[in-house]
């Protein structure tokens, strides 16, 4: 028994309104697919044989509001009792083969509209008035079998829009499906076509892939077919490396395990953490560039976290990620090895303060990344690493409770510094502030007399003569 989409009273009322005028209204796209797969969805799109002007007329007097921002593509939007509705006239688009942009053409049949869609599981419709599925390309069977295939040949579909190849990897991640052999082969032979797509569109699909339920499967498909060579060539490079611990996994496989373990540490009731997931996948991105074969057969990757942070910035900027996401991921990559200097707890309180201060608001994510980075099969070693990190977190909690580490600032503010040293605003004040900040990290909170004495000593060393007190 196939699960039918849930039709709200508003949608049923709208379909009846269309039927009264001799027009059909179909639910299409992700909401139909997700109903079949019994997955939650909030994506409700409709298609109809009515032309845009007719849609507007049918909505007038019924909808609480309507808008026509997508009318050039045949889409009219409306709201009714808090529900958002987008209705698009049947499409029969033709791609020009050069810009990869479709020439918008309206169609006359639901079947014609569906066969132009990307994958068969997305090429199903639900006739609301008749309460039945329309499935001209076998989407229901593909959904039952967990197979991702195209309505037309993959070559035709991907030739129309190469981004569909990356969407294939995205749906493998989101749905847990397996791409049909002919789809994989077409992706492999046409991967270079993806270079025609703007970085912004690529980034959107990649982010959705990484936030899917099965990102490892999507990433592996990207690497297998060569899409990664276009989108994230660093992934393929990692596949060629062994890691410094002589584990059975290569760096690529290790990174996928870290990604999966980081996902396991995400909060159950929150959305997927894109920053954490990118950082987990790319935390060892710098290893290929820093690999060194040591005498005796060992392999080292010294300073790969430093090189990796730079590589992350370059790649994420190229993919048009926001500055905030780019810098957050780069910082996590840069800091992910810091913990390994902790040993058995040899860090001073000063080192703990610096760890917390350097991580800033990324501390919780850094905790998760460091824990996820433990992929050893040696149970004793894994247990020791967990206990050691537990002890670090306990120390952080203790010092935070005592010193309010989240707001570590110098014991004197800028105005007090200028008054004490007789300075006007400028670089010298900034240098003094930085000195006091470092002193605060090293020694913890100081009382006012201690802070002033230390600042005066520093000022004299810098050749600054404070005014007589």
Query: 294: exposed, middle or buried (C-beta count within 10 Å: 0-12, 13-18, 19+)?
Result: exposed
Within its chain, how far is the Cα of 305 from the centroid? Answer: 20
What contacts 24+ positions apart, CB below 8 Å, involve 14-20? 14/62, 14/80, 14/85, 15/128, 15/129, 16/129, 17/58, 17/62, 18/48, 18/50, 18/58, 18/129, 19/129
Of 223, 163, 164, residue with least CA distance to 197? 163
**Domain spans, the chain:** 9-144, 146-231, 243-408, 409-461
Element (H, E) at 197: none
Would you place residue 266 in the very low, low, confident or very high pLDDT band (cuts 50, 70, 90)?
very high
Mean pLDDT value of segment 145-152: 96
**pLDDT value of residue 95:** 59
pTM over 0.85: no
Over 70: is that where the pLDDT of 1 sits? Answer: no
Would you place residue 102 in the very low, low, confident or very high pLDDT band (cuts 50, 70, 90)?
low
Mean pLDDT value of segment 57-82: 92
Q: Mean of the per-residue pLDDT values for the chain? A: 88
Fold of 146-231: Hydrophobic Seed Protein (1.10.110)
- Whether the Cβ atoms of residue 262 and residue 276 lie closer than 8 Å to each other: yes
Residue 181's CB is within 10 A of a number of other CB atoms, namely: 11
CATH number attached to the domain at 9-144: 3.30.460.10
**pLDDT value of residue 411:** 61
At 181-210, the pLDDT tens digits run 999 999 999 999 999 999 999 999 999 999
Do the strands 102-103 and 83-89 form a parallel or antiparallel pair, or are they unpaired? unpaired
Q: Give CA–CA dist 376/248, Å, rounded.
A: 9
Query: 81: exposed, middle or buried (C-beta count within 10 Å: 0-12, 13-18, 19+)?
Result: exposed
At 11-67, the pLDDT tens digits run 999 999 999 999 999 999 888 999 899 888 767 889 999 999 999 999 999 999 999
Would you place residue 212 in the very low, low, confident or very high pLDDT band (cuts 50, 70, 90)?
very high
Mean pLDDT value of segment 226-235: 96
Q: 3-class SS at 43?
A: coil
**pLDDT value of residue 92:** 76
**pLDDT value of residue 431:** 83
Instruction: Tell me the two tokens of residue 228.
Output: 């990664």
Over 70: is that where the pLDDT of 323 sits? Answer: yes
Over 50: is that where the pLDDT of 405 sits? Answer: yes
Higher pLDDT, 435 or 183: 183
Element (H, E) at 296: none
Higher pLDDT, 388 or 325: 325
């Amino acid at each position: 028994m196939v699960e039918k989409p849930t039709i709200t009273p508003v949608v049923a009322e709208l379909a009846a309104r269309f039927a009264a005028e001799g027009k059909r209204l179909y639910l299409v796209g992700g909401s139909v697919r997700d109903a079949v797969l019994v997955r939650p969805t909030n994506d409700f799109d409709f298609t109809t044989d009515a032309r845009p002007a007719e849609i507007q007329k049918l909505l007038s007097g019924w909808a609480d509001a309507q808008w026509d921002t997508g009318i050039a593509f045949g889409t009219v939007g409306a709201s009714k009792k808090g529900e958002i509705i987008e209705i698009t006239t049947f499409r029969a688009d033709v791609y020009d083969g050069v810009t990869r942009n479709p020439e918008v053409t309206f169609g006359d049949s639901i079947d014609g509209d569906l066969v132009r869609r990307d994958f068969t599981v997305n090429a199903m419709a639900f006739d609301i008035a008749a309460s039945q599925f329309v499935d001209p390309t076998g989407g229901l069977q593909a959904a039952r079998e967990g197979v991702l295939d195209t309505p037309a040949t993959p070559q035709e579909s991907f030739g129309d829009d190469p981004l569909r190849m990356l969407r294939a990897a995205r749906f493998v991640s989101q749905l847990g499906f397996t791409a049909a052999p002919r789809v994989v082969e077409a992706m492999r032979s046409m991967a270079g076509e993806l270079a025609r797509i703007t970085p912004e569109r690529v980034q959107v699909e990649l982010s959705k892939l990484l936030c899917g339920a099965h990102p490892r499967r999507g990433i592996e498909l990207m690497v297998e077919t060569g899409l990664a060579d276009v989108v994230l060539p660093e992934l393929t490079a990692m596949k060629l490396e062994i890691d410094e611990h002589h584990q059975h996994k290569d760096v690529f496989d290790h990174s996928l395990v870290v990604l999966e373990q980081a996902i396991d540490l995400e909060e159950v009731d929150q959305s997927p953490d894109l920053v954490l997931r990118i950082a987990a996948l790319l935390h060892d991105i710098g290893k290929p560039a820093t690999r060194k074969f040591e005498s005796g057969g060992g392999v080292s990757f010294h300073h790969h976290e430093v090189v990796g942070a730079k590589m992350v910035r370059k790649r994420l900027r190229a993919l048009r990620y926001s500055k905030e996401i780019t810098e957050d991921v780069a910082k996590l990559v840069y800091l992910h090895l810091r913990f390994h200097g902790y040993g058995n707890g040899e860090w001073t309180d000063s080192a703990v303060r610096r760890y917390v201060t350097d991580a800033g608001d990324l501390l919780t994510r850094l905790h998760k990344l460091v824990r996820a980075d433990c992929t050893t099969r040696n149970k004793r070693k894994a247990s020791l690493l967990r206990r050691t990190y537990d002890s670090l977190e306990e120390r952080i909690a203790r010092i935070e409770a005592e010193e309010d580490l989240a707001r570590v600032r110098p014991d004197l503010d800028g105005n007090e510094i200028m008054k004490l040293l007789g300075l006007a605003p400028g670089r010298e004040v900034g240098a003094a502030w930085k000195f006091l900040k470092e002193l605060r990290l090293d020694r913890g909170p100081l009382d006012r007399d201690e802070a002033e004495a230390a600042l005066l000593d520093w000022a004299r060393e810098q050749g600054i003569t404070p005014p007589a007190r």
